[in-house]
Each structure stands twice: as structure tokens, then as C-alpha cells.
Structure 1
């Protein structure tokens, strides 16, 4: 149930009309009410429409229409950017990948939001950080995410905590059983950037500073991360087929019993249990000397600067990120919610046993840099790593790490 907006706050929203044009790039203001459109990636679990129907029944004059964009994040971003650059009012509420916040804010495509409207103190703090840029709140956390290590409990007695243990166990399993060892997302796209970034973090390093203004990549730690992946592919406990894997291919390979270990997001848990039953275990990603660090994922909700109904859009976001809906995000959509208390709910833990591990992974996860040029940075990282881990491995890890650092510095220097 929505909490009433305080009268003073409502007046502040209306008064913000004149100022929003400068910061948000539009001249429509925050006072507009009326029907809105919610643009987001394709709903593959069909859980969204019932939530929208509940809003529409209570707000007949401010109905929300779901506009599904492509499933692939790159295609979603391309369509949103084209719309926002044209200053079209077709989109009101935007479902943004957490790495887009800085870019969309910097370009004036979304408006800053009033922190007091949302119970941010009850959200996971790492999730809130993804919605903040230059000390302003530009979106509201809707889902969060962290990479996990899936493993076969019937083949592995104790899950690995380090890369050395993962290597040893993967090699032992592949020798004893007709199954491959370990795979992540190793195709040259954002998923490879994430996997490499996690490896660097799990070796004690960092690629770019959190504010996106400085390359912090230590070539030695980057080489260590690359060598971990190179070694697995050379020795065969990482199958070469995984060089073509995105999230879906990794999920299918694990749940079909072709992998003993897999790095994936929490959405892969339900299908894996459905196929493998009690043979599925989940733990934190391993690291160089102990548990590793995931890269934070998820989605935030923002208001288009060109929306004509920005007040309704903000009220809808308050409703959609409320506690009741966030519970449904998990139970009906299988996405990690942003409310901290849901991870400690005994009933939910019985249904989703991985929640305590996921909470620990999210709180230990690192944000990708809040940079308006993140897309360029990611392309450089993915293409560089792809060179290093592709057979016949003619690119040395040291050379690739040094070259990557130079290219990243050039992008940040000219941003």
C-alpha cells in the first residue's frame, strides 16, 4: 500500500518544475499526472503485468502501460538512448541497468529524485549506491544481483573457496565423471567484462575507481586474473566451448548436467533445481586466497526528463519498489529484491535457500564505475580479455594487461 506523500513534499515536487529543465534536460517538470509508459527489458517470467494491473485498478486515471524492450541489455540501451536523444515523451519510467545511471544522468535524460520519497535506509546499501551519481539520487533500486558459484553437491563434498581448490576439484571431477569442469560467461560482451572484473577483484585489485575518474588497474593483479582463465582453458577444466557462453548458455550447460561448476546470477537457481533437484549447491565465488568478490548487477527505475507525467511516474516507482512488490519480485519473478529484511525472512529462506549466501555476496560485491563512458570502458575490457583467453594463447597476460590499462586511461582522459 502506498504511503501518502506529505503535502510539503508534494509542493516541492510541483515547485521543482522550473529547475528540472536544467538538470534533467527536459522542460516538462515533475508536476504532471496522467497515464504513463514503463519501458523495460522483456519480461521472461510474466510476473510484471499482474503488478501493473494492481496499480491500474487503483489509479484508473494514471494507468501504466508496459513497453517491453529487447531482452539483451545492449539493445535495450540503444532503443532508450534513441528515444531520449529525440526528447520523445513516449517513455515515462525507465528500467535501467545499474551501470547506465551515470551516463543517463550526465546526458540529462533522467531527472534527479527526492531521496525522502523512498525508504532507502531499508534497502541494501550497495544497491542504493548504484542509483547515486555526483551526490544525487537519479533512480530507485528495483532489483539487485551478484554472481554466485553453482556446484554439483553429488560430485563435490565441499565447495571451493579459492581458485586453486576450484582447479583441483574441477580436474578431479572431469577425470572421474563424464562432465566438464567450470564455466562462466566468456564470450566477448559485457558478461566477459563482469567475469574479468570479478577475477581482478578476487585477486585483490580493481579496474577503475568507483567514480570512474581513474584507472586503478594493477597490471600484476590483472595478469593474475587473466592467467587464472588462460590456465583453465589450456588445461581443459574450463571447456573451450565456454568462449561462446553468455548467461543463458551457462545456465543450460549446468542444469543439463554438462558442468560441475558454473558462475551465474541467481536467476539460474530455479531452473537448475527443477532439473537437478537436491544436487545443486550455491556458494560465493572463489578468489585467489579465499572467497572472491562479485560485480554488482541489477536494475534501477528512473524518470525520463521528457516525460509529461513525472509526478505519476515517481509515485508509480514508489509503489513498484515497495515491500510487498519487492517480495513478489523474488517469489514470482525470481529476481533478487533490494529490501534488506527480505533476505532474513525465514519463510523466504526455506523457499530460496541461497538467500543468505546471496546477501553476503551482494554486500561484498563491487560496483562497476559510475562513468558516463562505461560502455566504452567495457568494450575495451571485453575485447582485451578475449584476446588473452582465446586459443592458441599467443597474447601474454602481461602484455594484454598493460595494453588494456593504456586504452582505459585514454578513454578516461578524453571523457
Structure 2
């Protein structure tokens, strides 16, 4: 009996230790939720982020951050993050996620809601905050923003005596008439069937006043006159030739090279193109201008790009993770995001800083574009939504289906996706 009683006590003691360990993993442990953490991100091509984290680590020796760089390709980064989070792993404490993933990660319960009062939300560009919310709650902190811009050959438009286009009709007219006179193609975006095409189509739809999904992913709104006008604009451009056939195979870099090599009059792309196209040795250096994307009746609306910072719901040190979010979105670090990382910051005052505007002349246009931009369709199944939009729009651009057939098919496919949520 004595041996049996001792065995029972040992089992109970072991259970208490196990329960204590489980409590630590879920609630931050006996260390008050503070300690070393990891930051997972897609590949940092400029190397600036480790420098930024070195500044944090110097001031927080007991709460150091280890940078975990995942693959450069967004789909591979998504796959690794989703696999880890789905398993309940605490390997990644803070995640630098594409803004399009925030709703999906929040709906799945993978990332924790944030305390608004502990973050510098009042200093951000107002529009970027919408990328970090889902169904009324803040699940992430905007870190880097982005908006599509219209690049143009200012030397060519000056010779033609016309201003940069503000409407689709002006863009089409210039692409059809001016570009051929100077041996150029008219206009290109990212029209290969992938996420870039989803972005280009979504921008056109919202510029026309429409949406792809409504009620934060609960309803399908794509079969509308605005969507019909938007998709027709792109389809007609390919059919009429002022959007070259080659653009149907363009992603960001292919389209950037075509413009930078002097083959295009107009290009829709992200802000990173400006530095590359303006660099010494570029065939178009000193000859490019930037304006907001055009729309049917005036400036249009870009899709918001960039990334948000989120805290793993299973982080062992969530208080340190939350403090890191505040640090990475402070004014000093946000300045480094631009100057060292060549990425558009979310801190509003930097867009009117005279020294930065002299160095980055496109900042006022980018600020205007970001202020009028909108998030991609919010959905707990955004990856499926994006695949459907890109596939259907790709078929329409290649003449395999009419615009009406494309929108009817897309409505059916999105309805099936929404029902699964």
C-alpha cells in the first residue's frame, strides 16, 4: 500500500508539472509573457531588417529577437507559416505577413487580437489600418504599405504636348495614338494569371466603384456593372492591341524590365520600380514620371499592398512580441524601412518630410495613392478567392470567354468559396 501510495503521488506530481508547462505555453508562462522571441519573414533582399533588430537586441538583452528568413517567393512563405501555425507551433512569435493573409490567419485563430492602446495607431496613414482588421477587431499592425502607380515616359508625353492620363479614356487614347509614333507599346500591368492579375483586376473593379466581395467576405458582389466595365477595359485593351500580348505573361519584374528597357509608354507597377528605372545606366533614367492610377472618370483606386505584423496565438512571450510590434512601427524604424529597406513606410509624417521627398520624389504621389487605396477582398479563404479571380480573368483576357461569361462563372466560383466559410 505504501508503494502504491507513493506511485500515486508521483503520478499526481508529474501531472502538475505537465499542467504548469501547458499553462506556460498558452498564457506566456511564469515569466510574465516576456523573453526571447523569433520574427518570421519572407526573404529580406536588402538586409536592412537584421540591422533594425540589432537596435532592439542591444536594448533588450533578455528579450532578444532572432530573425527567421523564409523563402523569397510569397507562396512558399505562406505555406511554411500556415503549416507551422496550423500545427499550433510556437516556433514563430511574430510574423511579417502579406496584408492579404491577415483575414485568413485571423479567421483561423492563428494570430492573436492586439491591444490598440499599446500601438502608435494615430501616426499611421489612415487607410492602412483596414488591412490589419477583421470583423471589427485589430489582429495585426501595419508595417509596410504599397500602392500601385502609373509610370509614364515624361519625355514622350512632353513631345506630344499632353499631360499624364487621369482617366481610362485618356490612357487608352495615348496608348493607341502616341505610343506607336515613337516605336513604343502602349500599356502593361501584371496580367499573368497569378496574384498580380488578381490585384490588377481588383484595382480596375474598385476604380469603377465596384467590389469583388462584400460584408468582409460573406457575400459575392462581383457580377455588377462596375465589374463589367472594369474587365471590359482590360479585355478590350488586349483585343485592340494597346495592351501588348506580351503583357499576358508579365509579373512585376517582367513588366518592370519592359518599361525600363524603353519598350512601354505606360506601366502599372509598385513604387520599387522608381529607384531601379531611375538608376545610373537605366535607358529611361531621368525620363520617367509617376501619377496615381487612372479610373473611368478621374484618378482610380489602387489595391493596398505591403505587410502587417502579427503575434502568434501560441507565442510563449506575447508581451515581448507586442512590444516589438510597437518598436518596428515607431518613427525611427519606419524611416529606416524607407531609407535602408527601400520599402514604403506606414508612418504618415514621413511622406511630407522635405529631405525624404527630395530623395524620393514619388512620395507625395504614393501618399495620395495609398490614401485612396483599398485592401484586397477580405476572406477567410483569400488564397482560393485570388486563384479564382486570376484564372477567370486570365481566360477573359485570352478571349476564351466573354466578359459576361467570365463574371457569371466568377460569381458561381466565389459563391462556392464563401459557402465553405
State TM-score, norm by structure 2.
Answer: 0.89
Candidates 245, 255, 260, aligned match of 1:255: 260
Q: Equivalents in 1 of 2:318, 2:84: separation in Å?
A: 16
String of CA shifts for 1:94-151, please: whole Å, max 9, x gaps: 0011111121112111111111111101111111111112222111110111110011
Aligned counterparts of 1:211 and 1:134: Cα–Cα separation in 2: 7
Tell me, in whole angstroms, the C-alpha distance in 1 between the residues paired with 2:172 and 2:80.
Answer: 41
- Within 5 Å, which residues of 2 pair with 1:232-247? 232-247=237-252
Distance in 2 separating the partners of 1:35 and 1:389: 50
Higher mean Cα deviation, 348-357 or 213-222? 213-222
Gaps of at least 5 residues in structure 2 are 1-21
Paired residue secondary structure (2:361): coil
Q: Is 1:327 matched with 2:335?
A: yes
SS in 1 for 2:379: coil
- The answer to whether the 8 Å contact 2:301/2:372 transfers is yes
2:285 aligns to what SS in structure 1?
helix
Structure possessing the higher radius of gyration over alpha carbons: 2
Q: Alignment partner of 1:156: what SS?
A: helix
The structure 2 residue matched to 1:366, chosen from 366, 374, 378, is 374
Q: Which whole-Å CA distance do the structure 1 matches of 2:130 and 2:169 have between them? A: 33
Does 2:401 match 1:395? yes
State the match for 1:17 in structure 2. none
Matched residue of 1:302: which SS?
strand
Residue aligned with 2:117, SS: helix
The CA deviation at 1:182 is 0.9
Mapping 1:37-116, distance limit 5 Å: 37-116=38-117
**Shift in Å, 1:279:** 0.6
* Equivalent residue for 1:406, pick from 399, 409, 412: 412
Alpha-carbon distance in 2 for matches of 1:217, 1:104: 24
Contact 1:139/1:302, CA 8 A, preserved across alignment: yes
Tell me the alpha carbon deviations over residues 212-257 of structure 1, each in whole angstroms, 9 at most, x when there is no partner. Answer: 1111224332222222112211222211111111111111211221
Greater than 6 Å deviation, 4+ residue runs:
none
**Aligned-CA RMSD value:** 1.7
The two structures have a TM-score, normalised by structure 1, of 0.90
Q: Give the corresponding residue for 1:160.
A: 165
- What is the distance in 1 between the residues matched to 2:108 and 2:400? 40
CA contact (8 A) 1:206 1:218 kept: no
Alignment of 1:4-403 (within 5 A): 27-29=26-28, 31-157=32-158, 158-209=163-214, 211-274=216-279, 275=282, 276-390=284-398, 393-403=399-409
